[in-house]
Amino acid sequence: MSATPIERAARGWLTHLDVERGVSANTLKAYRRDIGRWTAYLSSVGVSDPDTVTETHVTDFLARLREGDDEHPPLAANSAARTLVAVRGLHRFLAMEGDLDADPAAAVSPPPPPARLPKAISLPEVERLLDAASVGDTPASLRDRALLEVLYGTGARISEAVGLDIDDVATDAEQPVVRLEGKGGKQRLVPLGSYAREALTAYLVRGRPALAAKGKGTPAIFLNQRGSRLSRQSAWTLLRAAAERADLTGHISPHTLRHSFATHLLEGGADVRVVQELLGHASVTTTQVYTLVTVQQLREVYAQSHPRAR
Question: Residue 226: what are its φ and ψ, rounded to 5°?
Answer: -95, 5
Q: Which long-range contacts (CB under 8 A, 24 or more apart) does 68-71 make?
A: none
The strands making up 177-181's β-sheet, listed across from edge to edge, are: 169-170, 177-181, 187-191
Catalytic residue among 64, 179, 245, 255: 255
Is 281 a known active-site residue? yes
Catalytic residue among 183, 186, 206, 273: 183
Is 255 a known active-site residue? yes
Question: Residue 114: what are its φ and ψ, rounded to 5°?
Answer: -65, 145
Catalytic residue among 91, 157, 259, 264: 157
Catalytic residue among 145, 197, 258, 264: 258
Three-state secondary structure readout of the chain? CCCCHHHHHHHHHHHHHHHHHCCCHHHHHHHHHHHHHHHHHHHHCCCCCHHHCCHHHHHHHHHHHHHCCCCCCCCCHHHHHHHHHHHHHHHHHHHHCCCCCCCCCCCCCCCCCCCCCCCCCCHHHHHHHHHHCCCCCCHHHHHHHHHHHHHHHHCCCHHHHHCCEHHHEECCCCCCEEEEECHHHCEEEEECCHHHHHHHHHHHHHCHHHHHCCCCCCCECCECCCCCECCHHHHHHHHHHHHHHCCCCCCCCHHHHHHHHHHHHHHCCCCHHHHHHHHCCCCHHHHCHHHHHHHHHHHHHHHHHCCCCC
Is 179 a known active-site residue? no
Is 183 a known active-site residue? yes
Is 258 a known active-site residue? yes
Is 157 a known active-site residue? yes
Residues with catalytic function:
157, 183, 255, 258, 281, 290
